[in-house]
């Protein structure tokens, strides 16, 4: 009986089989990479805000302390956003009729709050507490990046569970002396390792307890 | 012995019907309107961002699930949903730090009496009620109803706008009409005018009413309170020559006889009384002593369940018993004689408590006995009744007056006679004759629908007022939040009647106290939640001759009816509160309905089954009610709980049950004889959360008499399988904290406050009657109620069962996704966002304390109603298909740990208090760190009668129990009672 | 090679003398140019309706929630689990026939192993649905797999559900490979018999160019036997693991060491019942009584009663040890099983799986097809009830009487159960339509062997 | 178009076996036989070496088992140690169950892939299919293929020999 398949069918068959194998592997590897890419985590993407507030200007150039606006950071779970009043303490004197500040003035006049866009956000089943991190020597910079270089706020870290866990398992590399918590571009001294060792004991940090589920999920 | 039929309808009804009703269109509309009012705005804005972003009403926890879905669906990469808004204050109140709750002291009114509370407020949103430890009526405890106050506050069914003849109108228009009215009254000195008020203990209100009377001399004031019990004051008036109210000191009482008094479950002093009563029953060492309670009761109550000796009698028999008590030993039946002997033996430390529903004679007899035994001044004091008010009569009098054309315009303050009036009174007809009917209330209830004007009332948590506790201690009521729906306080209403439209509530209250409190003292009173030293002074009493001309009623023949108040709905005012509807009744464990309780013997005689509908007829009126066979119920008596059968309000409409008011007449408010009962063919669905009531001979609630305990302090180990001492698996080290709990079964009175507190603290959903009937209820903590002994006079046993936090947890090893694992401090953590709902953990939990979200019980997004604002922001709201359970209030532990860690110290003993522990009136629950040698819980666990539930399974529970010890006296009884097992 | 048709007084494996074109022609004919009777399509349509029922039920379940099933507190497991165990059990007979009988050199397996394997495959496919439908959040079922993720999270390997996942997946894959290997020569056969180009390509591609070279045959045989050798321990382990879902739990009525053997036996019982339920109509419909002979029916029936007796022993020992353990809850649970809310089901179960089964002692019954078919169906029903009773009776009466409660079945439970049954048979129909339901090359081999002896 | 070999069809398996052995005796080595089912006798005649596939299967089994157990061990001991029900981190009994299943799976996959690989399948185009007489389908026929590559192959001679051995047909097969 005659051939059913032409002579190059064999080649095609082999190509299809190997091809399927490689495609499969590519998808698997690509997928895992994609999960961590800024495309999905949104790292480094500046978010448009009702008022183009520049940390670069206020922190970098004017050197305003983080806590002037985020005044809950040492005592509360949420760092807090400045009330319109706080903006107006200065801007009732400076740039009093700058166009870009119109929404702020409107807010104060109408009593309707500014609606900023969240940049750093975690799922609502994650209970993050700023005060404890600040108290235990984790700097603003460590999670929020060098905001004093950012004209518009952008997420500095993926804020994925993976990312959180890396530090919760071994916090030491991210510790710094409490007095330097609010510094930007902090340069660790030579003996930083020794300092971190002592911080771990002085601040009574127990990494073995920091990966319990309820530390973040309640 | 299973007293309840196991009712299971074939099909479930659609989920969260509650919520869909809540999301009812017109509610949204009115919310939109509200949304522009400044205070409402600020309230919302002060919330976490998501709310303000999505007006009218979204609470951030609600959006959780959307985000959860979004993030988890992508194999758990971070929740990079489109940036949600974050909304700061415009002007930040200086004491508010977003993320840090504040606590305010105030008082909640319970039948007009005040109970001091501390309210937790998150960014101006009251979320949790705790008792005020300094307040004599609370002593730090709360009850189920107080816990539910936050839900009532955010109830979407609350009346939102003033209504003129049923049409929405402005408050201004109302004031205009009031101006006219007051002008008329000023002219006619109040001719034809009348106020209908409820029981009140508010000094401000009383003062205002007096002022009003002096302003309009002919104005009349009537009081309508369906739960009123005037007999007590009547008796004291006769006995001591002046109306007085008793204040009991159970902490000083060695022997107590209750004549149908439910002092643990009823009355303004119940929390304090329960605390004092239980404090005398904490036996830890064989040497310890214990009080003894004899209870005579005409229907099973918490007090009867807690009693050492209990006697169920028909209502009409109580009077003769009182007579016997008065006459002395000779006249008394054997068991009463024993009690009397015991009382006499205790001398001034004895106490006879008359049932407040009982007639004057019983009160008189009881107080007479107390006086003879010298108990007055020791175990009981008399004070001027805090609710004393000069009135022209009750609702009956008012209706007569209307009929007699003496009254043509009535202002109803709070009361709802349209529903709660005695059946022989045609209130509708009477009110329809009125020229003007004004109604002020929280809901647009039956009375509001009759009224020409309805004005929304402010909730207690929105109000400025003042109120007295059971011993006269006054608390200043301060608002936690501006009135959500523009409600007004009663004080503002009365002021308006007096023609004062400019005043505000705080001003009115401050006015009352201007003389007694300077600004400093005022601030102090606000901070402490009570006015120091305002407790009423005991009145010295000497016998009058009144008793002689009080005669006992004769014992009536035939079937009798005993009306009781539903423990949660009360006179039905809480009928629209889902938490209370779904909270199992302490004894029947019934939810979403009531039933006519009868004794097994009577049921046998009439061949009735639980659930069977019967017709009860009395005085030409009749109602249909399903029967519930109640162990320990007196024979030939039917107990009818009031408060159900409401059809106004979306939640109330879901509930089953019948309206017992339709059988209650003004001449027989609490008891009625000569009732005819005829069985009907049909049966009704009775929903209950516990279907089986015997312990099947298993050592579940381990118990003994005091005498037996003294012989064998470790009686809990007797004839039970020995607990394994070893495990196949090495022990895990718990070198930091090790949390543990101990529950004292002798102290637990089964009041269900813990369950309600747990629900409030942990955002547990309500599921509605149909889901409950399927066994889908969601309470993390349940209070099991077992009966032991003969059905006609059983011993009633309560056992709170939270998660045991087993160290060798069977639930954890079967979870395929690590959604429930152990923490370093020994908690059996449940990770909701990891759970995929295999339900294997529950299947493998011997205590069955896990709860599963079978359906979407807590809607979110557009579907969700305002009541979500009552949620605790520190606890996730669980989605459909997720298992949940008690974790010792892990959010409170974390909170405490963070605070301790921030100032670098260890967590102190008592710094972490679980919600159930905090609410418990008898302090039956102790909780703490087992590694802390000084921890109170460690002392409890050290007691000889401490045991773990099902310890033979070697699950190593962290929650343990103290065996139940009762003190029936008489060794023979003890032996017999002590060892009989269900 | 010691093959013989001399099997005592049992009927012969094949009736009559066959030559190879005749066999292959008839079998392949069914597939290639078979004009299937109208009742075939009627039956298929019926099954298809049930497939739609399944789709609707699943959609409803996923959209509204598992709360619409009968499950409740305390009985949080229900039909999803019993269906799962039932279907897995049915699968086992197929593997047993194809693998174990192959190793045991049982000649009579030849003409029934193909559809028995197909039955296994489809049964496992059905079974695989239920653990997922059982979940509260089915869309997260893949969390049972150790996939890379940003949670840094793993399955909890100690959970029997994870073992299940491994076992079922392995079982499904191995069965598929084994089945496909067996199909290769027959696919080649169909390729070369196919008239139309389409059929040629379809079977040709699947046949992978098989040409029956002696060298290929040599390797083929070795590996085929090895796979059989692998499948045998697998099939035992799979149902043992399924039984561990229960044994591993401390719940009364679950916590029993008898379960693994007793479940495997139960699996074989239901499996052979299903084989007969399919074979009896099949051999009649395609008039292959001479290939699938009474000998097959007879042996299958014998295996049924053998496994049935083990199952009966299982019931007995369950009851005995419940009493012997002396534990209050074990005893109460067992008593409640007999007199409690599920007693009716319990007694029906005994009647089906122990009572009726005893009829098979009679040769007359074994060789009477209608009777045998009826019994097979009854046993299938009985075995489903057995699984359901085991699942619900334990938790409904466990440690704390306060938590006792019953569960009731809803339309959804039945919708999914009957839907899955319909889907299963629909797949069987498709299978007999497009693939040879009888292993041609083995029957030929067998014919040739028997031919030699004759 | 070159010649691949001669293919002879026989009616009975025995005929094929006989022919094959006869041809081998004549010194032919490069032969292949085709049959609708296995004929064990041919193994010796065609000098088919026993396959080493069983080792592949064993290797696959061990690989599946070891790798899986290693993965589990890594996950519970190193990557995320968790206290699950107070059980030891390394709870080998449950882990063995999973590893066993994985072992079976590995073995089966190795066997399946191995047999295809060794048989050079899929091979959709093969000279044998060029033969007009060659059909797997007729079922009855049994074929012997003598390749031109065989040193003793002489077209005419070989054809004659095959015919004499009772071949029903002898056909030239194009490569």
Q: What is the pLDDT of residues A201-214, one digit of tens each?
A: 999 999 989 999 99
pLDDT of residue B59: 32
Euclidean distance between CA atoms B888 and A77, whole angstroms: 21
What is the Cα B141 distance to its own chain's centre? 11
Please state, in angstroms and as integers, the Cα–Cα distance from residue A136 to each residue in A74, A210, A217, B430, B723, following that order.
11, 12, 20, 71, 43
Euclidean distance between CA atoms A120 and B5, whole angstroms: 55
pLDDT of residue D75: 93
User: Residue A26 has which token pair?
Assistant: 């590519």
Euclidean distance between CA atoms B401 and B392, whole angstroms: 10
Lowest mean pLDDT among B34-38, C258-262, C301-305, D93-97: B34-38
Q: Do D85 and B730 touch (CB under 8 A)?
A: no
Euclidean distance between CA atoms B416 and B424, whole angstroms: 16
Q: Which of C157, C222, C448 sits opposite D54 (nearest CB)?
A: C222
Mean pLDDT calculated for residue range B258-278: 94
Taken in order C352, C354, C357, C362, the sign of the CA dihedral is negative
pLDDT of residue A41: 84
pLDDT of residue B16: 35
- Burial profile B541-566: b = 16 or more Cβ within 10 angstroms, e = fewer: beeeebbeebebbeebeebbbbbbbb
Nearest chain C Cα to B78, which residue? Answer: C150
Q: Is D12 exposed, middle or buried (CB count within 10 Å of its CB: 0-12, 13-18, 19+)?
A: middle
Is the model's pLDDT at B387 over the cut of 70?
A: yes
Is the model's pLDDT at B61 over the cut of 80?
A: no
Euclidean distance between CA atoms B186 and B217, whole angstroms: 9
Taken in order A57, A60, A65, A66, the sign of the CA dihedral is positive
The most confident of A96-100, A143-147, B753-757, C110-114, by mean pLDDT: B753-757
Q: Which of C72, C134, C156 sits opposite B818 (nearest CB)?
A: C156
This model's pTM is above 0.95: no
Interface of A with B in 38-57 (CB under 8 A): 40-42, 47
Euclidean distance between CA atoms B626 and B684, whole angstroms: 6
Alpha-carbon dihedral of residues B277, B278, B281, B285, nearest 10 degrees?
-140
Q: Which chains have 3+ CB pairs within 8 A of B?
A: A, C, D
B85: which strand partners? A117
SS3 category, C71? coil
Q: What are phi and psi of A175, to 5 degrees?
A: -85, 150
Q: Which H helix or E strand runs over B642?
A: strand B637-642
Euclidean distance between CA atoms B355 and D158, whole angstroms: 122
Whether the CB-CB separation of B279 and B581 falls below 8 Å is answered with no
Euclidean distance between CA atoms B102 and B99, whole angstroms: 10
Cβ contacts of C355 within 8 Å, gap of 6 or more: none
- Which of C11, C47, C9 has its CA nearest to residue C431? C47
Euclidean distance between CA atoms C425 and C415, whole angstroms: 15
What would the pLDDT profile of B328-349 be if each residue is shown by its tens digit?
777 788 888 889 999 999 999 9
Catalogue all structural domains in chain C, each as residue range(s) with its CATH number.
Answer: 16-143+155-449 (1.20.1630.10)
- Which of B648, B646, B670, B650 has its CA nearest to residue B659? B646
Whether the CB-CB separation of C140 and C153 falls below 8 Å is answered with no
Measured between beta carbons, the chain C residues lying within 8 angstroms of D43 are 214, 218
Q: Which of A1, A6, A211 sits opposite D125 (nearest CB)?
A: A6
Name which of C26, C88, C226 to mutate to probe chain D: the one with the most chain D Cβ atoms within 10 A of its Cβ: C226
Note if the bond before B72 is cis, omega within 30 degrees.
Answer: no
Tell me what percent of the residues of chain B surpass a pLDDT of 90: 73
Q: Which of C77, C139, C401 sits opposite B695 (nearest CB)?
A: C401
Whether the CB-CB separation of A86 and A107 falls below 8 Å is answered with no
What is the Cα B944 distance to its own chain's centre? 33
DSSP label of B272: H
Q: Is D163 on the interface with C (CB under 8 A)?
A: no
Per-residue pLDDT of chain C (454 residues; tens, 9 = 90+): 333 333 344 556 666 555 666 777 777 777 777 677 888 889 999 999 999 999 999 999 999 999 999 999 899 999 999 999 999 999 888 888 888 888 888 777 777 888 889 999 999 999 999 999 999 999 999 999 998 888 888 999 999 999 999 999 999 999 999 999 989 988 988 888 888 888 889 998 998 888 888 899 999 999 999 999 999 999 999 999 999 999 999 999 898 888 999 999 999 899 999 999 988 988 888 777 878 888 888 888 999 999 999 999 999 999 999 999 888 889 999 999 999 889 999 999 999 999 999 999 999 999 999 999 999 999 999 999 999 999 999 999 999 999 999 998 999 999 999 999 999 999 998 998 888 888 888 887 777 776 654 4
Residues in chain B: 982
Euclidean distance between CA atoms B232 and B566, whole angstroms: 21
Q: Do A32 and C151 touch (CB under 8 A)?
A: no
The per-residue pLDDT of chain D, averaged, comes to: 88
**Alpha helices (H) in B546-622, listed in sequence order:** 578-581, 600-606
- Which of A19, A3, A23 has its CA nearest to residue A11? A19
Interface of C with B in 364-403 (CB under 8 A): 395, 398-403
Interface of A with B in 148-177 (CB under 8 A): 158-161, 163
Is the model's pLDDT at B972 over the cut of 50?
A: no
What would the pLDDT profile of A142-188 be if each residue is shown by its tens digit?
999 999 999 999 999 999 999 999 999 999 999 999 889 999 999 99
Radius of gyration of chain D (CA): 25
DSSP label of B720: S
Q: Is C130 on the interface with B (CB under 8 A)?
A: no
Measured between beta carbons, the chain B residues lying within 8 angstroms of C150 are 75-78
- Burial profile A6-41: b = 16 or more Cβ within 10 angstroms, e = fewer: eeebbeebeeeeeeeeeeeeeeeeeeeeebbeeebb
- Smallest CA–CA distance, residue C205 to chain A, in Å, is 9
- pLDDT tier, B43 (very low <50, low <70, confident <90, very high otherwise): very low
Q: C-alpha angle D3/D4/D6, rounded to 5°? A: 95
Lowest mean pLDDT among A98-107, B724-733, C85-94: B724-733
What would the pLDDT profile of B543-589 be if each residue is shown by its tens digit?
655 566 677 777 778 899 999 999 999 999 999 999 999 999 999 99
**Placement of tokens 């999920």 in the chain:** A217
For residue B103, the tally of other CB atoms under 10 A from its CB is 10
Note if the bond before C74 is cis, omega within 30 degrees.
Answer: yes
Please state, in angstroms and as integers, the Cα–Cα distance from residue C179 to each residue in B391, C122, C216, following that order.
93, 12, 18
Is the model's pLDDT at B158 over the cut of 80?
A: yes
Q: Are strands B925-929 and B739-744 parallel, antiparallel or unpaired?
A: antiparallel
Q: Do A6 and D135 touch (CB under 8 A)?
A: no
Mean pLDDT calculated for residue range D66-78: 94
pLDDT of residue C194: 84
- Smallest CA–CA distance, residue B738 to chain D, in Å, is 14
Catalogue all structural domains in chain D, each as residue range(s) with its CATH number.
Answer: 3-50+124-174 (3.30.70), 53-119 (no CATH)
Put residue D42 in one of left, alpha, beta given phi > 0 → left and psi -120 to 50 → alpha: alpha
pLDDT of residue B544: 59
Measured between beta carbons, the chain C residues lying within 8 angstroms of D37 are 185, 212, 217, 441-442, 444-445, 448
Mean pLDDT calculated for residue range B905-931: 95
B292: which strand partners? B255
Residues in chain A: 218
Name which of D84, D86, D90, D94 to mutate to probe chain B: the one with the most chain B Cβ atoms within 10 A of its Cβ: D86
The per-residue pLDDT of chain A, averaged, comes to: 90
Q: Which of B731, B808, B823 sits opposite D85 (nearest CB)?
A: B808
Q: Do B848 and C73 touch (CB under 8 A)?
A: yes
What would the pLDDT profile of B669-678 be if each residue is shown by its tens digit?
999 988 999 9
Mean pLDDT calculated for residue range B213-219: 94
pLDDT of residue B545: 57
- Which of B820, B813, B874, B894 has its CA nearest to residue B850? B820
For residue D91, the tally of other CB atoms under 10 A from its CB is 17
Q: Do A9 and D134 touch (CB under 8 A)?
A: no
What would the pLDDT profile of B844-903 be if each residue is shown by its tens digit?
999 999 999 999 998 877 777 788 889 999 999 999 999 999 999 999 999 999 999 998
- pLDDT tier, B786 (very low <50, low <70, confident <90, very high otherwise): very high
pLDDT of residue B333: 85
User: Residue A50 has which token pair?
Assistant: 């009702």
Q: Is A5 on the interface with C (CB under 8 A)?
A: yes
Q: Which H helix or E strand runs over B206?
A: helix B203-215
Euclidean distance between CA atoms B480 and C49, whole angstroms: 61
Nearest chain C Cα to D101, which residue? Answer: C167
Is the model's pLDDT at D102 over the cut of 50?
A: yes
Q: What are phi and psi of A112, to 5 degrees?
A: -90, 135
Q: What is the ipTM of this complex?
A: 0.92
Mean pLDDT calculated for residue range B305-320: 92
Nearest chain D Cα to A213, which residue? Answer: D82
Lowest mean pLDDT among A19-28, C68-77, D73-82, D158-167: D158-167
Is the model's pLDDT at B96 over the cut of 80?
A: no
Higher pLDDT, D50 or D59: D59
């Amino acid at each position: 009986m005659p051939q059913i398949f032409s002579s190059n069918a064999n080649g095609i068959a082999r190509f299809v089989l190997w091809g399927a194998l490689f495609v499969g592997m590519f998808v698997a590897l690509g997928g895992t990479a994609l999960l961590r890419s800024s495309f999905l985590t949104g790292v480094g993407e500046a978010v448009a805000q009702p008022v183009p507030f520049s940390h670069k200007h206020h922190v970098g150039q004017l050197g305003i302390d983080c806590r002037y606006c985020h005044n809950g950071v040492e005592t509360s779970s949420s760092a807090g956003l400045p009330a319109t009043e706080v903006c107006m303490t200065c801007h009732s004197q400076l740039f009093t009729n700058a166009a870009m500040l119109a929404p702020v003035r409107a807010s104060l006049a109408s009593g309707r709050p500014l609606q900023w866009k969240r940049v750093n956000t975690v799922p609502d089943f994650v209970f993050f507490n700023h005060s404890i991190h600040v108290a235990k020597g984790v700097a603003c910079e460590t999670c929020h990046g060098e905001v004093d270089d950012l004209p518009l706020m952008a997420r500095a870290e993926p804020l994925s569970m993976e990312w959180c866990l890396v530090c919760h398992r071994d916090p030491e590399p991210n510790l710094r002396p409490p007095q330097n918590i609010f510094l930007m571009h902090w340069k660790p001294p030579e003996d930083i390792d020794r300092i971190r060792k002592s911080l771990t004991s002085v601040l009574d940090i127990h990494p073995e307890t920091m990966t319990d589920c309820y530390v973040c999920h309640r | 012995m299973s007293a309840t039929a196991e009712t299971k309808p074939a099909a479930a009804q659609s989920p969260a019907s509650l919520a869909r009703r809540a999301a009812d269109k017109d509610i949204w509309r009115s919310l939109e309107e509200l949304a522009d009012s400044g205070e409402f705005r600020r309230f919302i804005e002060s919330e976490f961002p998501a709310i303000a972003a999505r007006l009218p009403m979204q609470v951030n926890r609600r959006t959780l699930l959307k985000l959860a879905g979004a993030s988890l669906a992508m194999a758990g990469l971070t929740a990079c949903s489109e940036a949600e808004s974050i909304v700061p204050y415009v002007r930040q109140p200086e004491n508010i730090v977003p993320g840090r709750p504040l606590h305010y002291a105030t008082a909640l009114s319970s039948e007009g009496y005040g109970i001091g509370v501390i309210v937790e407020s998150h960014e101006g949103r009251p979320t949790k009620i705790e008792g005020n430890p300094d307040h004599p009526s609370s002593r730090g405890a709360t009850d189920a109803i107080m816990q539910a106050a936050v839900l009532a506050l955010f109830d979407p069914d609350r009346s939102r706008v003033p209504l003129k003849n049923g049409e929405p109108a402005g408050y201004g228009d109302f004031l205009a009409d009031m101006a006219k009215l007051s002008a008329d009254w000023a002219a006619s000195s109040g001719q034809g005018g009348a106020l209908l008020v409820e029981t009140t203990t508010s000094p401000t209100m009383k003062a205002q009413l007096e002022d009003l009377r002096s302003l309009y001399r002919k104005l009349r004031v009537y009081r309508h309170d369906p739960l009123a019990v005037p007999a007590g004051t009547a008796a004291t008036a006769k006995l001591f020559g002046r109306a007085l109210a008793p204040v009991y000191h159970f902490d000083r009482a060695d022997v107590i006889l209750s004549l149908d008094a439910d002092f643990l479950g009823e009355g303004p002093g119940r929390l304090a009384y329960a605390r004092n009563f239980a404090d005398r029953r904490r036996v830890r060492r064989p040497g310890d002593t214990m009080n003894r309670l004899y209870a005579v009761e005409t229907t099973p109550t918490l007090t009867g369940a807690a009693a050492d000796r209990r006697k169920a009698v028909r209502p009409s028999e109580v009077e003769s018993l009182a007579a016997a008590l008065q006459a002395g030993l000779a006249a008394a039946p054997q068991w009463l004689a024993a009690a009397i002997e015991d009382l006499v033996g205790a001398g001034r430390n004895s106490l006879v408590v008359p049932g407040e529903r009982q007639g004057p004679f019983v009160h008189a007899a009881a107080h007479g006995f107390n006086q003879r035994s010298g108990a007055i001044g020791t175990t009981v004091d008399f004070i001027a009744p805090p609710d004393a008010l000069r009135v022209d009569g009750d609702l009956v009098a008012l209706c007569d007056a209307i009929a007699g054309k003496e009254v043509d315009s009535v202002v109803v303050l709070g009361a709802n006679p349209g529903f709660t009036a005695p059946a022989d009174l045609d209130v509708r007809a009477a009110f329809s004759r009125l020229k003007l009917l004004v109604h002020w209330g929280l809901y647009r209830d039956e009375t509001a629908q009759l009224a020409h004007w309805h004005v929304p009332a402010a909730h207690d948590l929105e109000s400025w007022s003042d109120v007295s506790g059971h011993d006269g201690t006054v608390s200043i009521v301060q608002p936690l939040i501006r009135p959500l729906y523009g409600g007004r306080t009663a004080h503002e209403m009365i002021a308006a009647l007096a023609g004062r439209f400019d005043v505000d509530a705080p001003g009115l209250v401050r006015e009352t106290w201007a003389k007694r409190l300077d600004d400093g003292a005022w601030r102090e009173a606000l901070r402490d939640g009570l006015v120091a030293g305002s407790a009423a002074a005991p009145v010295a009493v000497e016998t009058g001759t009144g008793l002689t001309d009080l005669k006992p009623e004769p014992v009536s023949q035939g079937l009798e009816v005993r009306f009781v108040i539903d423990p949660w709905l009360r006179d039905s005012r809480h009928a629209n509160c889902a938490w209370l509807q779904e909270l199992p009744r302490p004894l029947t464990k019934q939810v979403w309905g009531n039933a006519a309780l009868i004794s097994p013997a009577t049921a046998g005689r009439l061949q009735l089954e639980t659930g069977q509908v019967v017709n009860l007829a009395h005085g030409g009126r009749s109602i249909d009610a399903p029967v519930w066979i109640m162990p320990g119920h007196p024979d030939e008596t039917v107990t009818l709980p009031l408060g159900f059968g409401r059809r106004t309000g979306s939640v109330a409409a879901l509930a089953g049950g019948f309206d017992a008011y339709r059988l209650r007449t003004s001449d027989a408010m609490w008891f009625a004889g000569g009732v005819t009962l005829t069985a009907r063919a049909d049966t009704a669905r009775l929903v209950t959360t516990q279907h089986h009531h015997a312990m099947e001979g298993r050592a579940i609630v381990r118990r003994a008499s005091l005498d037996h305990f003294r012989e064998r302090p470790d009686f809990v180990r007797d004839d039970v399988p020995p607990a394994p001492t070893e495990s196949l698996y090495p022990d895990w080290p718990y070198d930091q904290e090790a949390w543990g709990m101990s529950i004292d079964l002798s102290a637990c009175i089964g009041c269900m406050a813990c369950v309600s507190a747990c629900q409030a603290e942990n955002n547990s959903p309500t599921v509605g009657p149909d889901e409950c009937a399927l066994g889908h209820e969601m309470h993390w903590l349940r209070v099991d109620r077992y009966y032991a002994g003969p059905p006609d006079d059983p011993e009633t046993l309560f056992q709170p069962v939270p998660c045991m936090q087993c160290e060798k947890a069977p639930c954890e090893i079967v979870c395929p996704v690590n959604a429930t694992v152990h923490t370093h401090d020994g908690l059996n953590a449940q990770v909701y966002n990891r759970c995929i709902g295999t339900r294997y953990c529950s299947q493998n939990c011997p205590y069955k304390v896990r709860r599963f979200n079978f359906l979407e019980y807590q809607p979110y997004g557009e579907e969700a109603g305002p009541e979500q604002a009552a949620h605790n922001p520190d606890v996730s709201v669980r989605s459909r298909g997720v298992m949940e359970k008690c974790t010792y209030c892990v959010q409170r532990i974390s909170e405490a740990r963070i605070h301790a860690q921030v100032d670098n110290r260890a967590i102190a003993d008592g710094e972490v208090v679980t919600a159930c522990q905090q609410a418990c009136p008898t302090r039956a629950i102790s909780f703490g760190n087992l590694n802390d040698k000084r921890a109170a819980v460690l002392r409890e666990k050290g007691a000889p009668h401490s045991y773990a539930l099902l310890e033979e399974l070697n699950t190593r529970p962290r929650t343990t129990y103290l065996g139940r010890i009762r003190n029936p006296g008489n060794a023979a009884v003890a032996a017999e009672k002590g060892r009989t097992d269900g | 090679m010691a093959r013989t048709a001399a099997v005592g007084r049992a009927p012969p494996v094949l009736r009559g003398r066959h030559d190879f074109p005749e066999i292959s022609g008839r079998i392949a004919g069914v597939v290639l140019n078979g004009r299937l009777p109208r009742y075939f399509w009627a039956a298929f349509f019926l099954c298809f309706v049930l497939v739609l029922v399944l789709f609707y039920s699943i959609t409803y379940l996923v959209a509204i929630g598992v709360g619409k099933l009968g499950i409740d507190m305390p009985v949080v497991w229900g039909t999803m689990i019993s269906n799962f165990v039932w279907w897995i059990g049915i699968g086992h007979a197929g593997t047993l026939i194809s693998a174990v009988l192959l190793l045991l050199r049982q000649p009579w397996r030849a003409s029934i192993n193909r559809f028995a394997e197909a039955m296994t495959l489809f049964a496992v496919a059905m079974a695989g649905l239920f653990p997922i439908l059982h979940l509260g959040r089915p869309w997260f079922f893949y969390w049972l797999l150790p996939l890379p993720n940003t949670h840094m999270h793993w399955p909890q390997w100690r959970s029997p559900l994870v073992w299940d996942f491994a076992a079922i997946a392995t079982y499904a894959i191995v069965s598929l490979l084994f089945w496909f290997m067996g199909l290769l020569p027959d696919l080649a056969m169909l390729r070369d018999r196919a008239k139309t180009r389409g059929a040629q390509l379809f079977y040709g591609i699947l046949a992978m160019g098989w040409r029956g070279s002696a060298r290929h045959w040599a390797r083929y045989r070795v590996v085929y036997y090895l796979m059989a050798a692998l499948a045998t321990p697998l099939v035992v382990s799979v149902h043992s693991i399924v039984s561990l879902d229960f044994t591993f739990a401390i719940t009364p009525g679950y916590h029993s060491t008898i379960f693994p053997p007793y479940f495997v036996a139960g699996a074989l019982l239901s499996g052979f019942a299903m084989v007969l339920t399919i074979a009896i109509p099949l051999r009649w419909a395609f008039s292959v009584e001479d290939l699938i002979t009474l000998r097959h029916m007879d042996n299958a029936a014998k295996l049924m009663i053998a496994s049935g007796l083990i199952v009966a022993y299982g019931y007995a020992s369950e009851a005995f040890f419940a009493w012997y353990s002396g534990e209050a809850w074990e005893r109460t649970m067992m008593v409640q099983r007999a007199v409690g809310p599920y007693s009716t089901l319990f007694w029906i179960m005994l009647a089906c799986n122990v009572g009726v089964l005893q009829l098979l002692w009679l040769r007359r019954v074994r060789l009477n097809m209608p009777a045998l078919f009826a019994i097979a169906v009854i046993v299938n029903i009985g075995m489903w009830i057995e699984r359901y009773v085991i699942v619900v009776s334990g938790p409904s009466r466990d440690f704390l009487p306060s938590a006792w409660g019953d569960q009731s079945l809803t339309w959804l439970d039945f919708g999914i159960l009957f839907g899955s049954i319909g889907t299963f048979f629909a797949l069987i129909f498709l299978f007999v339509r497009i693939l040879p339901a009888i292993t041609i090359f083995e029957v030929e081999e067998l014919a040739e062997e028997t031919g030699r002896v004759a | 178009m070159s010649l691949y070999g001669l293919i002879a069809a026989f009616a009975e398996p025995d005929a094929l076996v006989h022919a094959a052995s006869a041809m081998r005796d004549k010194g032919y080595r490069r032969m292949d036989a085709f049959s609708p089912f296995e004929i064990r006798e041919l193994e010796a005649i065609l000098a088919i070496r026993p396959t080493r596939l069983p080792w592949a299967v064993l290797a696959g089994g061990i690989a599946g088992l070891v790798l899986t157990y290693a993965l589990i061990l890594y996950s519970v001991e190193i990557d995320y140690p968790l206290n699950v029900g107070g059980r030891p981190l390394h709870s080998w009994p449950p882990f063995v169950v999973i590893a066993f299943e994985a072992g079976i799976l590995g073995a089966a996959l190795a066997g399946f892939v191995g047999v295809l690989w060794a048989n050079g399948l899929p091979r959709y185009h093969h000279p044998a299919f060029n033969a007009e007489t060659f059909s797997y389908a007729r079922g009855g026929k049994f074929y012997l293929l003598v390749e031109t590559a065989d040193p003793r192959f002489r077209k005419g001679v070989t054809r004659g020999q095959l015919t004499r051995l009772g071949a029903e047909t002898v056909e030239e097969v194009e490569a």
